[in-house]
Amino acid sequence: MSNPRLTAIIYDFDGTLARGNMQEASYIPELLGMTPPQFWNDTVKPRTIAADGDDILMYMQLMLQTAREKGVDVTRGILRKHGERVPLFDGIKDESWFDRIDAFGAQYGLTVQHFILSSGLAEMIEGCPINHRFEHVFASKYVYDDQDRAIWPAVGINYTTKTQYLFRINKGVHNNWEHERINRYVPDEERPVPFERMIFIGDGDTDVPTMKMMHTKGGYSIAAYDPRISSHDQGKIHRLISDDRVNFVAAADYTEGSAMDLIVKGILGRIAVRERTMPAG
């Protein structure tokens, strides 16, 4: 068998690995004293429209501003603490998904690496018990002063800028600042992870450009949905297939034998056949 081929599984976070938005688990209700609709609909949305701004940068700034108005300086430690309480889907919270998929890939001569690509907060993801399972986390993040207080958004990843990070993974550039390496021409065969060995899993409208790009580049895209959502919302997700934006749709259930489990294993098998790493017999 040839040397193991690097294969990337890239996940959105909110609604894909975790139920709902990470900020809603405890940060918004406990630290800001608001309900999620009060924060997103009554605060972030109107101010974004008034400023003709980016909603990701606006929510990040308002998370800090609203906390300061209540006498709280937000630190990296506070954000990590709230990240510990984010509810993860079955198969993710006990980490069995990562063990199982890594082992399955290894059987077929593939080295599976897991990445996060999210508009959510990197600091909260760092607080989650699964953070150590990722090769790299690409997510929105703050810059801090010398007392570890968040003072301003350093990175804001929205639904369109997400696509650049597929190229960072493709070329092995695991940071936000190194633009020269991203723009430099590299022959496809010299890139660490070709698009054909990438799988993207996301959960809806904000991931559509990433899903579509992955789909058209020869990789694989899966639209995940919360198993508890209504049939109407499931239909919205299923339309992504009919619109030729994704390859597969599955519930965000990562337990053994689930649809997600079978789909990802099937894709890994397909990659192994194409890469000729499939074991004999």
Q: Which of 83, 104, 130 is the last residue of a domain?
A: 83
Q: How many domains does the chain have?
A: 2
Q: Quick check: is 37 in a domain?
A: yes
Sign of CA dihedral 104, 201, 13, 192: positive
Amino acid at 32: L
Q: Are residues 165 and 110 in the same domain?
A: yes
β-bridge mates for residue 113, sequence order = 8
Q: Are residues 184 and 167 in the same domain?
A: yes
Decide: 166 and 211 in contact? Cβ < 8 Å.
no
Q: Are residues 114 and 213 in the same domain?
A: yes
Q: Are residues 132 and 209 in the same domain?
A: yes
For residue 2, the model assigns a pLDDT of: 42
Q: What is the pTM of this model?
A: 0.94
Q: Are residues 13 and 78 in the same domain?
A: no
Q: Which of 51, 83, 115 is the last residue of a domain?
A: 83
Q: Are residues 121 and 254 in the same domain?
A: yes
List the CATH number of the domain containing 109. 3.40.50.1000
β-bridge mates for residue 150, sequence order = 144
Decide: 219 and 191 in contact? Cβ < 8 Å.
no
For residue 232, the model assigns a pLDDT of: 52
Distance separating alpha carbons of residues 91 and 253, to the nearest angstrom = 7
Q: Are residues 206 and 127 in the same domain?
A: yes
Angle between helix 96-107 and 259-275 (nearest 10): 30
For residue 3, the model assigns a pLDDT of: 55
Q: Quick check: is 147 in a domain?
A: no
Q: Quick check: is 76 in a domain?
A: yes
Q: In tens digits, what is the pLDDT along the chain, a chain of 281 residues?
A: 345 799 999 999 999 999 999 999 999 999 999 999 999 999 999 999 999 999 999 999 999 999 999 999 999 999 999 999 999 999 999 999 999 999 999 999 999 999 999 999 999 999 999 999 999 999 999 999 999 999 999 999 998 899 999 999 999 999 999 989 888 998 888 899 999 999 999 986 678 889 989 988 999 999 999 888 755 566 666 677 767 778 898 999 999 999 999 999 999 999 999 998 877 65
Q: Are residues 92 and 72 in the same domain?
A: no
